[in-house]
Amino acid sequence: MQNMNKPEKNLLLPSYLEQSDAVKQRFDKLKQRNVILEVKGLDKVYKTTKGETVALKNVSFQTHKREFVCVIGPSGCGKSTLIRVLAGLESYTSGEVLLDGKPITGPGRDRGMVFQGYTLFPWRTVKQNVMFGLEMNNIGTNEAGREADLWLELVGLEKFSNAYPHELSGGMKQRVAIARALVNQPRILLMDEPFGALDAQSRCKMQTHLLEIWRNIDITIVFITHDLDEAIFLADRILVLKAHPGEVLELIEVPVPRPRNTSQFTSPEFIATKARLDALIHPQDEKENTETPIQQRMIRFVNVQDNVE
Ligand SMILES: Nc1ncnc2c1ncn2[C@@H]1O[C@H](COP(=O)(O)OP(=O)(O)O)[C@@H](O)[C@H]1O
Ligand SMILES: [Mg+2]
């Protein structure tokens, strides 16, 4: 009997470049929106006593309003350097980094950050953690409290507002971190492998949850990950970097329609995109070239299966 979990070996997948009309229209609209973030010819060289490391070389891309961009690449390709430059926490060697057309020169309220490590204050309650940024901006306790309540509701943690971080699961801590980043109503949310420390199930829940939040509010997101599935599931476009030096290989438009759901992980466009990312990030795994024009545009399912982790 045929194993239903195993697709037929000779099934052909569409090219990751093929888009349905709905997806194409979505991208056309997206590209007409204002550019929030513009990175032009960005270079970052670290100089240490041991020598120089070119962490980023000639990196250029644009992020449009309400776009969800994922940045992916092997360890050491400069992902964290890029997000730290965008956050204004790291200087850069040359190029331009513009937020709403203005150069980024340091940290600012217009950018919210969520990192992998849990960065909550352990001595503050959930609500007090979310209120912190507002208090730093001289917003009174009453108003800060009201704002915090709203954002805690948005991330589904209103019942835990008086809990302390140690009483929360990893996923809940990251939801607090998201609320804390959003409470200042930034123009852009910068996330560096925020779900990297979570177990697979919590991670999956948080991805769905983040997409819900993103759908409900006016926020642009730059999200760093090294997880191919995560990038495809979340992103409109994926910026693929290579290491040593950190350079852009490709900016991929994800052909998977929205709204996203977990059943799409096995859809042909999802698998085709994953195969492309895998080939870019692990080029030694690329299989030999196909010959006919149709085969040049299609990827044999059997090869894709071999490439997928
Ligand atoms: N503060 C630093 N000083 C010197 N070199 C650094 C520093 N931070 C990162 N690097 C180097 O820059 C490169 C990119 O690092 P990073 O941005 O952390 O990459 P990723 O987040 O993709 O793993 C690596 O070779 C790393 O060793
Ligand atoms: Mg990193």
**pTM for this structure?**
0.89
- Residue 62's pLDDT is what? 97
Strands 68-72 and 237-242: parallel
- Residue 282's pLDDT is what? 86
- Residue 4's pLDDT is what? 54
Domain presence at residue 146? no
pLDDT grade for 296, boundaries at 50, 70 and 90: very low
47 Cα nearest atom in ligand 1:
4
CATH code of the domain containing 218: 3.40.50.300
Rg (CA), the chain: 21
Q: Quote the CA–CA distance of 142 and 151 in Å, as a whole number.
A: 15
73 Cα nearest atom in ligand 1:
22
In sequence order, the β-bridge partners of residue 239 are 71, 251
The closest alpha carbon to 22, from 289, 258, 294, belongs to 258
Query: How confident is the model over 180-232, as pLDDT tens digits?
Result: 999 999 999 999 999 999 999 999 999 999 999 999 999 999 999 999 999 99
Domain presence at residue 162? no
Do 119 and 191 meet the contact criterion of CB atoms below 8 Å apart? no
Query: How confident is the model over 93-109, as pLDDT tens digits?
Result: 999 999 999 999 999 99
Domain presence at residue 179? no
Domain presence at residue 168? no
Pocket of ligand 1 (CB under 6 A): 46, 48, 53, 55, 73, 75-81
Number of domains, the chain:
1
Q: Quote the CA–CA distance of 53 and 45 in Å, as a whole number.
A: 6
Domain presence at residue 88? yes
Domain presence at residue 277? yes
- Residue 11's pLDDT is what? 65
Domain presence at residue 129? no
Sign of CA dihedral 99, 103, 109, 112: positive
Domain presence at residue 176? no
Instruction: List, as ranges, residues with CB under 5 A of the ion ligand 2.
Output: 79-80
Query: How confident is the model over 124-162, as pLDDT tens digits?
Result: 999 999 999 899 888 999 999 999 999 999 999 999 999
- Residue 6's pLDDT is what? 53
Do 69 and 239 meet the contact criterion of CB atoms below 8 Å apart? yes
Please give the residue range of the domain that contains residue 202.
Answer: 12-110+186-307
Distance 245 CA to ligand 2 centre (A): 15
